[in-house]
Every structure is written in structure tokens, then in C-alpha cells.
């Protein structure tokens, strides 16, 4: 029991570092960049509140657990902004390999049974195939859109994003599980990009 | 549907402000004070990882939802450090009244059915009587202890806390649901306070 508890507490202490991983998006008031720990909390709140928008078959409780751990690998890898087109871009094989190593190290701090369970949940999120993972991914993509609308453009300004790029990089993912949310946001998005 | 979604998104935008509520505790590396949004994420991770320490009858899924919203009232009220002995101290009736007003306003942004469900869950957490609430409270109390141990003392130094005060203000709450965790931490706590 003591060894098990020591491993769990070591993992929880290491997880604290996610609070120092900065994302490209800011808070709604644009006062500073958001970190990946508070982002994780916020998307969990999105998942709970928008539960009645979730497609049939989604288990929101599982989605909450998925979102709780979805960004932990960023402790080693950092956040990769979706609109940044650098050497290591979002979804590239180089990034995926680094994330796998990070998952090995971080979940490996836990007792083996928990390490396996957390890793399976993270793998499911990354694969984005099951209803729970698709809903979780849609939630994870729509929250930064809300932040950008509130803060005056945010990463759309920073990376010179067009309305078409937003649609292909983000809209196609959000609409997989949340078509009505995306349709609801469309007029505000059209207005913002028309002015930009 | 549109009005409902608009209310949900307005609540989620308002919730963003929890990221700007600063707590007395710092990050483990003592680089800055922790905010209540990232703290909420961290205690949810504690609740998930320490689930095998939870007393019989605890539904960890419900506890995650409880911890997800447990600090939202701090958007209006701010964080009240447990070791601060000011005019408005932890658990005072003045503070409780302000928290009730904050809960009315914040949960009231949601559609009525969700407002009622979230409020009932928050009331249950505050009352600290059900197994889920007792476990959630124990988790919420033990995380800052771990932060203080990691950061070199934190709020124990700031507020001149003694080992006895820690035991009465925190230990008695942690041991309600997590006696083995508190026993596990005791040697490290004894060492820290012996040196302080």
C-alpha cells in the first residue's frame, strides 16, 4: 500500500508541471496566455454543460476522465498550436512519436494497473474514433474558438488564420460531435472574419 | 435550443474568470501562486488517482463533477485561505452568505434544469455530509499540503502555522476519507515542522 501510494503521489506532484505549459490562446480578457491545466479544467466544464448536445452513446463521465488527462503529455512535449505551421506541426509523425514517449514516461509513474487504464483512455482520445473520443475532441476544439471570440481574435490574429482555414482545421472537427454548436457560432465567426 | 445553448455558452465564458482567482498556495516549484481553475483540475486528478483510497460507497464520477464546480463561487468571492485568520475567515457565516449569493448568480446563468443540478451538487459539497462530499473535501484539503511540502512550506511559512494547527485545521478533514494518505504524509510533515 505504501509503495502504491508513493507512486500515486509522485505522479500527482509531476502533474503539477502542466500548470506551467502555456498555450497559444489567452484568457477571455486577453490578460495572459492560458495554461494547459486550467484549459483542461475548462474543457471538462464544457463537456459537462454541453452534455445535452452530445451524440447518442456518449458517456460524459468517461469523457471527463479523458479530458482530465488529455494534455498531460504536454509536460514533456509542450503545447503545439493548431494554427502554427512549423517544423513540428499538429498531427505530424514527429510530434506523435514524442507524445508517445511522454505518455510512456508520465503514465509510467503510476502503479501498473492505473498506468494501463490511463494510457488506454489517452490512446482512445488520440485515436478519435469512439463516440466518447469524438465528443471529447470536439469539445477540446471549440473552447479555443470561444476564447478567441471573447479576447478579440487571439490566435487567429497571431497566425493570420482565414475563415476557410478555421473551417478546415477546426470546424470539421467540432461538427463531428457538435454540429449545432458550430452552427450557433457561425454568425459570430462570419462577422469577426469579415472585419479582420 | 438556441436560447439554451446561448445560456450555456454564457456560463462557460463567465467561468473563464476562475483562472484569475489566485490562491494562497503556489505551484510545486514556488514560481507563482496557483489559481483556482488549475487547482480544480489538479484536485480532480487527485480524486481519480486516489480512487482506491476512497471509502466504500464513494462514486468517483460524482466526485469529479463536484470538484469541477466546487470553487466557481470564488469568481465573486475570491479564495479564502484556510490558515488566514482575518475578518472574513474560512467557514464564517459572513463568507457563507456571500458564497450563497455567488452560487445564485453563477449557476443562475445556466438553463434552469442545469442550474438546479449544479447547485444541488455544490450544496452537497459544502454540507460535507455524504460520502462523495466527504471524499471531495478530503481531496481538496490534501492537495495544498502536497504543494506546501513540495514548494518548501508555502502557506505554513506565510501564516506561521504550527504542526498542531495543521492537524486541527487540515488533518482532521483529510482523515475523514483519507486516513492512510494522512498517515503516509505524517513523517514528512513532522520533519518539516521540526525544522521550521
Q: What is the pTM of this model?
A: 0.97
Residues of chain A numbered 54-73 and touching chain B (CB < 8 Å): 61, 64-65, 68-69
Predicted confidence at residue A143, as pLDDT, reads: 98
pLDDT at A113: 98
Tens digit of each residue's pLDDT (9 = 90 or more) over A77-122: 999 999 987 666 777 889 999 999 999 999 999 999 999 999 999 9
Tell whether the model's pLDDT for residue A173 goes beyond 70: yes
Chain B residue with the nearest C-alpha to that of A12: B46
Q: Which residue of A has its CA nearest to B12?
A: A46
pLDDT in tens, B160-175: 999 999 999 999 999 9
Residue A7 scores a pLDDT above 80: yes
Chain A stretch 109-148, residues whose beta carbon is closer than 8 A to a beta carbon of chain B: 110, 114, 143, 146-147
A31 alpha-carbon distance from chain centroid: 21
Of chain A residues 70-109, which have a CB less than 8 A from chain B?
A: none
B16, B28, B43: best to mutate for the A interface, most A CBs within 10 A: B16
B46 CB within 8 Å of a chain A CB: yes
Contact A38 B34 (CB under 8 A): no
The whole-number pLDDT of residue B170 equals 97
Task: For residue B44, give the nearest of A68, A110, A180 by CB distance.
Answer: A68
In chain A, pLDDT over 70 holds for what percent of residues? 98
Residue B91's pLDDT band, with cuts at 50, 70 and 90, is confident
Gap from B98 CA to chain A (nearest CA, Å): 23
Amino acid at each position: 500500500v505504501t509503495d502504491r501510494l508513493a507512486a500515486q503521489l509522485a505522479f500527482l506532484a509531476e502533474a503539477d508541471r502542466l500548470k506551467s505549459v502555456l498555450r497559444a490562446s489567452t484568457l477571455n480578457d486577453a490578460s495572459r496566455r492560458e495554461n494547459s491545466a486550467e484549459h483542461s479544467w475548462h474543457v471538462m466544464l464544457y463537456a459537462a454543460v454541453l452534455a445535452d448536445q452530445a451524440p447518442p452513446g456518449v458517456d460524459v463521465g468517461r469523457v471527463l476522465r479523458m479530458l482530465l488527462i488529455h494534455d498531460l503529455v504536454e509536460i514533456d512535449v509542450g503545447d503545439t498550436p493548431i494554427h502554427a505551421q512549423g517544423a513540428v506541426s499538429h498531427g505530424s509523425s514527429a510530434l506523435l512519436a514524442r507524445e508517445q514517449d511522454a505518455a510512456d514516461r508520465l503514465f509510467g509513474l503510476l502503479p501498473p494497473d492505473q498506468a494501463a487504464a490511463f494510457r488506454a483512455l489517452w490512446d482512445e482520445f488520440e485515436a478519435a474514433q469512439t463516440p466518447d473520443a469524438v465528443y471529447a475532441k470536439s469539445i477540446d476544439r471549440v473552447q479555443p474558438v470561444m476564447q478567441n471570440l471573447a479576447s478579440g481574435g487571439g490566435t487567429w490574429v497571431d497566425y493570420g488564420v482565414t475563415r476557410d482555414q478555421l473551417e478546415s482545421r477546426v470546424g470539421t472537427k467540432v461538427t463531428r460531435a457538435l454540429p449545432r454548436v458550430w452552427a450557433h457560432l457561425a454568425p459570430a465567426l462570419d462577422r469577426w472574419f469579415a472585419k479582420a
